[in-house]
């Protein structure tokens, strides 16, 4: 009997190439000063214990904040005037040391249309200047360059080129130069298009002027609190930019951390092989 394949399965069988959209996790990698860093070490090594048949196993211990490395913010991550998304009282929601509303266990798995908004390419530079504010006009121009504008339920990824600095922690965190990122107008542009999630290749997603640190995060308010749009940070969009792909299938499966405010992720773009 001939079995009719699901169209998505047929596409996968036909050949799909996966492009990494995140950074690797390693001890000492750059992270926001607001969060504890990532640490990993072997807690048991081969030979520490040998089984009767000669077999041995190694394993590690990992200590990390939920917003370290490539990750996604849950809606519990940011409040404004004491309220989370949907008017939820933040103080009540976090009683007991875990969030009873908007916890990271509610982060969705995503298999959606993704659009790369390459703002660095719009300006003809490999990397936007430190502290540059990405505007709604920038995103409009990037969508025109891509030939694809994000819409309801899509995932919009903003490339600043800043991932090129990931191996240089002081440069990547921009303590002297600031970090490029989205402004409020850019956040409102995305919210108007009702994307489900957005991300960028920097530590804080939004514009961080030189010397400002993470003093205020107004775009997080626009996206997380007002619009219920998830934010991803520390992406690496260099490979997909170099491939010339601007529209793709976006894949993501966050960890279901009950009561948490975020999750490490490994985002992928699926394109025809």
Which DSSP string do the residues of 104-165 spell out, in sequence order?
A: GGGPPPEEEEEEEEEHHHHTT-SSPPTT-EE-HHHHHHHHHHHT----TT-EEEEE-SGGGG
54 domain-assigned: yes
Tokens 């303590």, residue located? 175
CATH code, 245: 3.50.30.50
Residue 9: the pLDDT is 86
Residue 215: the pLDDT is 73
pLDDT for 177-187, tens place per residue? 999 999 999 99
Compute the distance between CA of residue 157 and CA of residue 265 in angstroms, rounded to an integer: 15
Compute the distance between CA of residue 148 and CA of residue 156 in angstroms, rounded to an integer: 10
63 domain-assigned: yes
Residue 58: the pLDDT is 97
Domain tally, the chain: 1
Look at residue 1 and tell me whether its pLDDT is greater than 70: no
pLDDT for 24-66, tens place per residue? 999 999 998 889 999 999 999 999 999 999 999 999 999 999 9
21 domain-assigned: yes
pLDDT band at 147 (very low <50, low <70, confident <90, very high): very high
Residue 37 CB burial class (10 angstroms; 0-12, 13-18, ≥19)? middle
**In whole angstroms, how large is the CA radius of gyration of the chain?**
20
Tokens 């970090």, residue located? 179
193 domain-assigned: yes
The two three-digit tokens of residue 106, written as one number: 């509610």
Residue 181: the pLDDT is 98
Share of the chain above pLDDT 90, in %: 90
Compute the distance between CA of residue 189 and CA of residue 72 in angstroms, rounded to an integer: 20
260 domain-assigned: yes
Compute the distance between CA of residue 159 and CA of residue 106 in angstroms, rounded to an integer: 27
Residue 109: the pLDDT is 97
Look at residue 255 and tell me whether its pLDDT is greater than 90: yes
What range does the domain containing 90 cover? Answer: 7-272
56 domain-assigned: yes
Rounded to two decimals, the pTM is 0.94
Give the other-Cβ count within 10 Å of 257's Cβ: 18
Mean pLDDT for all residues in the chain: 95
pLDDT band at 214 (very low <50, low <70, confident <90, very high): low
Cα dist. 233→9, 84, 225 in Å? 30, 20, 17
1 domain-assigned: no
Give the mean pLDDT of 243-249.
96
Sign of the alpha-carbon torsion through 7, 8, 11, 13: negative
pLDDT band at 216 (very low <50, low <70, confident <90, very high): confident
pLDDT band at 12 (very low <50, low <70, confident <90, very high): confident
pLDDT band at 67 (very low <50, low <70, confident <90, very high): very high
pLDDT for 88-143, tens place per residue? 999 999 999 999 999 999 999 999 999 999 999 999 999 999 999 999 999 999 99
Look at residue 2 and tell me whether its pLDDT is greater than 70: no
183 domain-assigned: yes
Q: Is the distance from CB of 142 to CB of 160 less than 8 angstroms?
A: no
Look at residue 210 and tell me whether its pLDDT is greater than 60: yes
Sign of the alpha-carbon torsion through 59, 255, 260, 34: positive
Give the mean pLDDT of 6-19.
87
Is 166 strand, coil or helix?
Answer: coil
Residue 211: the pLDDT is 78
Look at residue 4 and tell me whether its pLDDT is greater than 80: no
- Give the CA dihedral 8, 14, 19, 22, nearest 10 degrees: 30
């Amino acid at each position: 009997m001939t079995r009719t394949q699901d169209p998505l399965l047929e596409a996968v069988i036909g050949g799909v190439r996966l492009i990494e959209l995140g950074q690797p996790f390693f001890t000492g990698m750059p992270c926001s000063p607001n969060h504890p860093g990532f640490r990993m070490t072997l807690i048991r090594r081969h030979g520490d214990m040998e089984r009767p048949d000669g077999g041995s196993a190694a394993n590690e211990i990992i200590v990390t904040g939920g917003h370290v490395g490539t990750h996604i913010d849950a809606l519990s991550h940011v409040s404004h005037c004491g309220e989370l998304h949907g008017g939820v009282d933040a103080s009540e929601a976090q009683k007991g040391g875990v969030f009873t509303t908007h916890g990271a266990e509610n982060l969705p798995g995503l298999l959606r249309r993704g659009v790369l908004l390459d703002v660095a390419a719009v300006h003809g530079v490999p990397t936007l200047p430190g502290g540059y504010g990405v505007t709604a006009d920038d995103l409009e121009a990037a969508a025109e360059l891509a030939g694809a504008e994000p819409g309801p339920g899509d995932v919009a990824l903003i490339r600043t080129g800043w991932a090129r600095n990931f191996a240089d922690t002081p440069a990547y965190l921009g303590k002297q130069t600031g970090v490029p990122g989205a402004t409020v107008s850019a956040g409102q542009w995305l919210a108007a298009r009702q994307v489900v999630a957005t991300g960028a290749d920097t530590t804080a997603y939004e514009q961080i002027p030189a010397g400002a640190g993470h003093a205020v995060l107004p775009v997080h308010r626009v996206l997380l609190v007002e619009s219920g749009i998830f934010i991803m940070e520390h992406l690496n969009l260099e490979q997909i930019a170099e491939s010339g792909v601007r529209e793709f299938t976006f894949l993501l499966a966050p960890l279901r951390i009950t009561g948490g405010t975020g999750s490490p992720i490994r985002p992928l773009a699926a394109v025809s092989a």
